[in-house]
Structure formats: structure tokens, C-alpha cells
Structure 1
Amino acid sequence: MPKINLSRNHSLEPAVIKERITTLGAKLQEKYQAKTSWADDRTLNVKGTGVEGKLVISDNKVDVNLDLGFMLTPLKGKIEETLGKELEKLTAAS
């Protein structure tokens, strides 16, 4: 299974970064029909057809760890690029 592992630093308050990660989760649901659910205050689980993993928030970093299924393997580069851009936006202080 191909893996996507991305990390981005942030300097946001916990409530702000969690809200932004929730918004990213909604985008994943819409685009990839992946179900998202909070395992705890810092871990958003992602599970859908062809994708499974989690987004983990720490005090100064967000980690994205996803496993892609066979059908999404050809799209790995595009998915990784798109997620990277989304992470840049959501971790930006504003």
C-alpha cells in the first residue's frame, strides 16, 4: 500500500488548529468519500474506499499519515500535492 506522510509546523492555538483540521476532514469526505471521526482531541481518523489513516495534532505540528489502496495508487502524487497545499493553508498563522 502506498503511504502519504506529511508534516507541517504550526503556531496556532489548539482550538484553532482543530477547527481547521475538521474543515480539512470535511474536504476529504467530500472529495474521496472518506469518513472522518475524532479519536480524541488530537487525532482525526480517516477511513474510506481506498484510503485509511489519521491526522495528528501536536503542540507545534500536524502530521498526516495515510495509506492508499490499489485504486488510488496512480493518484498518489496528486493527492499528496493537494494535501500539502491544504496543510500549508491551514497551518498558516492568520
Structure 2
Amino acid sequence: MAKIDIRRPHGKSLPEARAVVEKVATRMSEKLGTTGGWQGDAYTFSGSGVKGAITVSDTDVHVAVELGMMLSAVRGMVESEIRKKLDEHFA
């Protein structure tokens, strides 16, 4: 299993950051078929070949993802897409 671990500071309030994560989670569900929900300040998700969590705090967002065998082959592309979305929403 390949792992992706990214932490990024943000300048949003906690409710604003959670709203962005909701938006990203909806898009992820559409693209990857994931399902998930909030457990405290962490949005946990899973789908075919992927599981992880997006945790928000007052100061940063932390994305931790585990990719199954099939998606491990495209780990670089998945990580690049995550970084791109973080830049779009939290830069």
C-alpha cells in the first residue's frame, strides 16, 4: 500500500475549512466513488482501493491517504491532484 501524507497551513476559520473539505469530499466521491463522514474534526473516507482522512484544525489541514495495489501505481498523479486542490482551496 502506498501512503500519502500532506499537511498544509490555512488562513480560514474552522467552519470555513470544514466547508472546503465538504466540497472536496463531494468531488472525491464523484471521481473515486468514496463514501465518508465526519468524526470530530476529521473527515474519514474509503472506497475501492483508497481510504484516509482529512483533518482540519484552527491552523492547518492534514490529508492522510492509503492507496491499494491498483492505485499505488498512480500514486504520483493522485498526490499531485491532492496538492493542486489544497493550493486551490487553502492557499
Q: CA RMSD in A?
A: 0.8
Whole-angstrom distance in 2 between the partners of 1:81 and 1:39? 26
User: What TM-score do the two structures reach when normalised by structure 1?
Assistant: 0.93
Number of paired residues?
91
Show structure 1 runs of 4+ deviating over 6 A: none
Identity of aligned residues (%): 27
Residue 89 (structure 1) shift: 1.3
Matched, 1:56 2:55: yes
CA contact (8 A) 1:21 1:90 kept: no
Q: Distance in 1 between matches of 2:2 and 2:89?
A: 24
Unaligned runs of 5+ in 2: none
Q: Which amino acid aligns with 1:51?
A: V
1:81 corresponds in structure 2 to: 80
Per the TM alignment, residue 74 of structure 1 is displaced from its structure 2 partner at its CA by 1.1
Which sections of structure 1, spanning at least 5 residues, go unmatched? none
Q: CA deviation at 1:76?
A: 0.6
1:16 aligns to what?
Answer: 16
Q: How many angstroms apart in 1 are the aligned matches of 2:75 and 2:48?
A: 14
What are the Cα deviations for residues 6-48 of structure 1, in whole angstroms up to 9, with x where unaligned?
Answer: 11100101111110000000111011111121112x1000111
- 1:88 CA drift (Å): 1.1
Q: Secondary structure of 2:73's match?
A: helix
TM-score using structure 2 length: 0.95
CA contact (8 A) 1:43 1:57 kept: yes
